[in-house]
Structure 1
Amino acid sequence: MTPQQSALIPSQRDPRRSALPSPGPRLRARAATATVWYLRLLAVLNIVAVVSLPFREEVHEHNAGTFFTPYLATAGLVSAALALFLAVVMRRRKRAAWVFNLLLAGPLFALYVLALTQDGYQDHVFNWLSATLTGLFVAALLVGRREFNAIGDRSNPKLALAVGAGGLLVSGTLGTLLVNATNKVSDASLLDKIAYTLLRGVSVGPLADRVAAVHAPRWVDITINVLMAATFLLVLYACFRAPRGAALLGPDDERRLRGLLAKHGERDSLGYFALRRDKAAIFSPTGKAAVTYRVVGGVSLASGDPIGDPEAWPGAIDAWLAEARRHAWTPAVMGAGEEAGTIYARHGLDALELGDEAIVEVPDFSLEGRAMRVVRQAHNRVRRAGYTVRIRRHEDIADDEMALLVERADAWRDGATERGFSMALGRLGDPDDGRCVMLECRDADDVPRALLSFVPWGEDGLSLDLMRRDRDCENGLMEFMVVELLLRAGEVGARRVSLNFAMFRSVFERGARLGAGPVLRLWRSVLTFFSRWWQIESLYRANAKYRPVWEPRFLLFAKSSDIPRIGLASARAEGFLTPPALPSFTRRKESAEDTAPAGADSAS
């Protein structure tokens, strides 16, 4: 038997590839999962104990005298919040969460074991049950320790300390003021009120009743407990938040990406947007492909297809997913094409069709025919009004003229936030983008009224980047400019043009057809309703008039439960949401993040 033949026999292949997973990894995974479910169960039980008086009194009774309860069972909102938050971060396999639980549960279990050797504790079956459950939790932590390998941000301890101090000061002050205003016992000192507030923040049970000089109403106790629970949640978030992903696109990464685009840039119309400098790039082991992404709200958000040779895409995707696991980021891809979506799906991601990209093949475009009558009439009307369009590469525009165009584009922007992430470059007029194409529209008085900017798509394609116009200009000016580009695309050597992305296009198209089902019609009605604010249908109609070829684009995600989180991260990345940034406690070097366009947010 030749070596080549023997290599094909499964039993003689690398055992790491052919053998089934050993019991060790399976046991570790199950132990790690068991810790998560324990914390979830304790969170539910604590919440039930807070709202159920008989159950709460039972728990408090077992926490008093010679009784004790399992780890984190205290019948308080703080314990419920702690258990729930720890369940979330433990599910993400955070190493810091594992250490936190072990430091709390380990000594507690040792204390329980010591207590069971003393008289008065051994006669209660519930004590043995509590010690057993706590011990099993600690054992599961130890068995599954290698599963918790996701790292956190180095600035987390300092941030958690600052948030904890500030939150305790605010919630403690508010609680003390409430106690002072509602205390039914006279002559209580300020120290008594502060002690009562702090004890009530831990539990709504009899713990704070030891302060005899204070007796506050029940609603005050619950309010203080809720405030402390909220403070504790903020501290936990600051302690366990994901790293920010500060390794943004550097000059060397950009040079390598431009090299890959020069060889394979014709594959994806969104490829050039990978050069946004608020993204990071991770390359395949061969360096022939890369995935560009940005970390927003703990979501590693990639956009478009991987850059480079499709044969090397799996290596780049593996590296990106490994990076996400190492930092406990949620992986997601916005706007992947069908080919890339298939490969992402092979790596364990699910796909959801977002909509379609409108691509116009220039040789097939014509204004002739009844179907193009509306576009033709609009084009002729604007042209008769004296408007003209000039088409140039950015590199052919003088610096002072480009600066004026950028100034006008900023003035014409709708709002103060620069929007765009997956289908926008976000840096009009940058000297490195000389191959981009600018369309400048002037009125009959030679006054600039609108502009369009397109990025290169391979050697003979263009992809829409920016649309800006004067709000007082002629109606239909954008349609006029697009038609001018399609009719004169040969001036810049373009044979295909990618226009806007239409979300849920198939719903509008199929939902209006004869015989559409009730679910599809209902879905179309919902989207039509929301189009009043978000222009979902109007954007589809605006693209459909050019008779484009529709290319589907997909959202890729690991778990369906992550979709709301991914949606929020996408809205932040695109500039639709701009939450206040948390303070930074680490000194970082000046990078492209410092010069990102307005609305760009790389915080996690």
Structure 2
Amino acid sequence: MAKSRYQTAMSSPRRRPGILIRLLALGREASPQAFGVVVFGAGALTLISAVTPAFSNRLSIVRETFSPFLIDISHFAASVIGFLLLLLAAGLWRRRRGAYWLALGAMLAGAVFTMLKGLNWEEALQLVAVAALLTPCKPAFDRRSRLVEPLRPGWLLLVVTAVVAMVWLGFFAYRDVAYTDELWWTFLSDSEASGFLRAAAVLSILTLLIAAVSLLAAPGSGRRRLPDAQDRARALTALAEAAQSPLHRAAPEAWLAALGDKALLFSPSGRSFLSYRVRGRRWIAMGEPAGLKSERLDLLWAFAELADSYGGAPVFYSVGEGLLADLATMGLAVRKVGETAVVEVAAFTLEGKPRQNLRTAVNRAEREGASFAVLPPGSASGIGEELRAVSDAWLAEHNGEEKAFSLGRFDPDYLDLTPLAVVRQTVEQSSRIVAFANLLPGAGEAREVAIDLMRHVPDAPPGIMDYLFIRAIQWAGAEGYAAFDLGMAPLAGLEDRRGAPVFGRVGALVFEEGGALYGFQGLRAYKSKFFPDWRPRFIAAPAATPLALALLDVALLTSGGWLGLLGVRRRR
């Protein structure tokens, strides 16, 4: 993958340029947007000229000089050039090199066709002038071109509006012309209305096709391959390095990169990475960057630029408070999406009356022959069949399917990577695994471990998962971890207050009333019995991106699509 501007800057020392150079650089940065607007206006004017009658005296001169067929072809070509400029304006806004060259050629060709169709020298002069101003700005258009690139909703709306206005204006201009089928085939010497009709029909069809492609296509998703074994090995190497150095940071969910269901973006050094998926127009990063703390901001910028280069919007899901400053620096809108239950292991105890239920769960499980152990990485493959039997029984009992994206799935190779918490039950010399969970260790200044995949058999002793959690928290304390993450309670902690944002108020309503779809309140209540510290989790995206739709995309990615989210496949 080619390096972005931000990735290149990461690998070289920065020198502060003079103020004049910096001002010129800022002007150059703004020129693509300025020319995007100007070229869109030029295209709209070209369309208006193509659908309105030409000056009769100029048209008489053209008719005496050129054949009717050439005039009619020029009329049609000018219409197509105007429509093409509307599309190229979006590419100029995105700083595409290909759009730059095509816009120059289209404007010069448009100037020729507008002269041939009716000696519209004012319009031709305007097109030439815009092309002349655009020519020296080539360095500003530094992004690779895409052969097929969907339009963003804003640009698509502008293009559709311009074409609809052109068609309406044309019918208004030729309202006194009696419509006959012959108008589709006659040349301009017979009627200018025929040229308008053919152009309107072709441009309307093109607009519908472009709208369909833009609304249905996911920008860049076809180019984002899932990681191969080499990429996953690089990510695991970065995680191993992070565990040994205070200069690194890796949240526990960074291990989800090993599942191979998310694309990976690496820093130029290869010591940091970020996991993401593309859905619709949104590029959704799962969690925070993992690796060197000094590379975090640059990697965030690199991801945002990569998404923007494909016409997508960068979204950062399930990020903590420590990343908010960097996200604010990037100008992103941030909303709370839930809270994660984090137990401070040093303060965790089974003593006291409020914790009577926890002591009861431990005593009851051990009376029924339960024992707890944490197996080292690499142990899952040796007991793979036992673990699979537990997992299959759990899925059958819950009529469920494996999740993805933000959650782990049953995969012995994935379970082999990290410690595995196992509960065995021994009854009359017979021992079997009745519950297990993989533990994801984090790295950085705050040593923490999180629980990921959790499974138990339906006939396990009552409260067996309480027992597993309690012993796992105690194990984390013995291993020197500072915190134990029980996982997130989605939409928890949102406020339904008059002054709260609509996103938060709707989320609070779903949290309180959405039990039929998902046990939001029950999940939070269950985790509360372990007396955790509830820490907020956030989603961040550009201000123009609907965060509610971005959160829905996360749910669809996690559930495997609409059927999984609505439970249709589970019911079947």
Q: TM-score, normalised by structure 2?
A: 0.66
Q: Please list the CA deviations of residues 198-245 of structure 1 after superposition, one character each: whole Å capped at 9, or x if unmatched.
A: xx9xx99999952799xxxxxxxx999998855443456799942522
Deviates more, 1:524-533 or 1:265-274: 265-274
Over 3 Å counting, the alpha-carbon distance change for 1:579 and 1:226 in structure 2 is farther
Separation in structure 1 between the aligned mates of residue 241 and residue 125 of structure 2, nearest angstrom: 58
Over 3 Å counting, the alpha-carbon distance change for 1:378 and 1:440 in structure 2 is closer
2:372, 2:424 within 8 Å by CA — same for their partners in 1?
A: yes
Whichever residue aligns with residue 113 of structure 1, its letter is M
1:152, 1:240 within 8 Å by CA — same for their partners in 2?
A: no
Displacement of 1:537 in angstroms is 2.5
Displacement of 1:296 in angstroms is 4.1
Whichever residue aligns with residue 328 of structure 2, its letter is A
The answer as to 2:227 corresponding to 1:248 is: yes
Q: Which of 426, 435, 438 is 1:450 aligned to? A: 435
Secondary structure, aligned partner of 2:297:
helix
Displacement of 1:364 in angstroms is 1.4
Over 3 Å counting, the alpha-carbon distance change for 1:143 and 1:483 in structure 2 is same
The answer as to 2:492 corresponding to 1:481 is: no
Whichever residue aligns with residue 489 of structure 2, its letter is A
The answer as to 2:316 corresponding to 1:333 is: yes
The answer as to 2:20 corresponding to 1:20 is: no
Q: Which of 532, 536, 557 is 1:552 aligned to? A: 536
Displacement of 1:498 in angstroms is 0.9
Whichever residue aligns with residue 436 of structure 1, its letter is P
1:151 corresponds to: 144
Whichever residue aligns with residue 253 of structure 1, its letter is R
Over 3 Å counting, the alpha-carbon distance change for 1:212 and 1:32 in structure 2 is closer
1:32, 1:140 within 8 Å by CA — same for their partners in 2?
A: no
Whichever residue aligns with residue 463 of structure 1, its letter is A
Displacement of 1:316 in angstroms is 3.2
Whichever residue aligns with residue 109 of structure 2, its letter is P
Q: Please list the CA deviations of residues 524-568 of structure 1 after superposition, one character each: whole Å capped at 9, or x if unmatched.
A: 334312343133332222222211122322223233335356435
Displacement of 1:111 in angstroms is 0.7
Separation in structure 2 between the aligned mates of residue 87 and residue 343 of structure 1, nearest angstrom: 31
Secondary structure, aligned partner of 2:452:
strand
2:249, 2:293 within 8 Å by CA — same for their partners in 1?
A: no
Whichever residue aligns with residue 466 of structure 2, its letter is E
Report the count of equivalent residues.
Answer: 483
Secondary structure, aligned partner of 1:301:
strand
Over 3 Å counting, the alpha-carbon distance change for 1:340 and 1:35 in structure 2 is same
1:467 corresponds to: 454
Q: Any stretches of 5+ residues in structure 2 without a counterpart?
A: 1-14, 60-71, 151-166, 185-199, 565-572
Separation in structure 2 between the aligned mates of residue 572 and residue 37 of structure 1, nearest angstrom: 36
Separation in structure 2 between the aligned mates of residue 419 and residue 32 of structure 1, nearest angstrom: 46
Over 3 Å counting, the alpha-carbon distance change for 1:570 and 1:396 in structure 2 is closer
Separation in structure 1 between the aligned mates of residue 338 and residue 43 of structure 2, nearest angstrom: 37
Over 3 Å counting, the alpha-carbon distance change for 1:467 and 1:329 in structure 2 is same
Whichever residue aligns with residue 437 of structure 2, its letter is L
**Aligned ranges for residues 483-562 of structure 1 at < 5 Å?**
483-489=470-476, 494-507=481-494, 523=506, 524-561=508-545
Separation in structure 1 between the aligned mates of residue 400 and residue 105 of structure 2, nearest angstrom: 47
Over 3 Å counting, the alpha-carbon distance change for 1:71 and 1:530 in structure 2 is farther
1:281, 1:292 within 8 Å by CA — same for their partners in 2?
A: yes
Separation in structure 1 between the aligned mates of residue 132 and residue 548 of structure 2, nearest angstrom: 34
1:152, 1:241 within 8 Å by CA — same for their partners in 2?
A: no
Deviates more, 1:16-25 or 1:305-314: 16-25
Displacement of 1:139 in angstroms is 6.6
**Aligned ranges for residues 35-50 of structure 1 at < 5 Å?**
35=38, 38=41
1:375, 1:479 within 8 Å by CA — same for their partners in 2?
A: yes
Separation in structure 2 between the aligned mates of residue 241 and residue 306 of structure 1, nearest angstrom: 22
Over 3 Å counting, the alpha-carbon distance change for 1:455 and 1:471 in structure 2 is same
Over 3 Å counting, the alpha-carbon distance change for 1:111 and 1:518 in structure 2 is closer
Separation in structure 1 between the aligned mates of residue 100 and residue 419 of structure 2, nearest angstrom: 50
Secondary structure, aligned partner of 2:349:
coil
1:585 corresponds to: none
**Aligned ranges for residues 79-228 of structure 1 at < 5 Å?**
91-94=93-96, 107-117=109-119, 146-151=139-144, 210=181
Provide the alpha-carbon RMSD of the alignment.
Answer: 5.1
Over 3 Å counting, the alpha-carbon distance change for 1:224 and 1:472 in structure 2 is farther
Whichever residue aligns with residue 181 of structure 2, its letter is R
Q: Which of 402, 407, 418 is 2:384 aligned to? A: 402
Deviates more, 1:551-560 or 1:375-384: 375-384
Displacement of 1:502 in angstroms is 2.0
Whichever residue aligns with residue 451 of structure 2, its letter is L
Deviates more, 1:469-478 or 1:106-115: 469-478
Q: Which of 9, 32, 41 is 1:29 aligned to? A: 32
2:287, 2:318 within 8 Å by CA — same for their partners in 1?
A: yes
Separation in structure 2 between the aligned mates of residue 17 and residue 285 of structure 1, nearest angstrom: 30
Q: Any stretches of 5+ residues in structure 1 without a counterpart?
A: 1-11, 47-57, 118-126, 160-199, 214-221, 581-604
2:236, 2:258 within 8 Å by CA — same for their partners in 1?
A: no
Q: Please list the CA deviations of residues 109-148 of structure 1 after superposition, one character each: whole Å capped at 9, or x if unmatched.
A: 421122233xxxxxxxxx6786677667767875766555
Over 3 Å counting, the alpha-carbon distance change for 1:149 and 1:530 in structure 2 is farther
1:395, 1:435 within 8 Å by CA — same for their partners in 2?
A: yes
Whichever residue aligns with residue 421 of structure 1, its letter is F
2:238 corresponds to: 257
Deviates more, 1:130-139 or 1:352-361: 130-139
Secondary structure, aligned partner of 1:464:
strand
Separation in structure 1 between the aligned mates of residue 543 and residue 43 of structure 2, nearest angstrom: 19
Over 3 Å counting, the alpha-carbon distance change for 1:238 and 1:368 in structure 2 is closer
What percentage of residue pairs aligned between the two structures are identical?
Answer: 20
Over 3 Å counting, the alpha-carbon distance change for 1:390 and 1:381 in structure 2 is closer
2:100, 2:141 within 8 Å by CA — same for their partners in 1?
A: yes
1:438 corresponds to: 421
Whichever residue aligns with residue 399 of structure 1, its letter is S
Over 3 Å counting, the alpha-carbon distance change for 1:38 and 1:455 in structure 2 is same
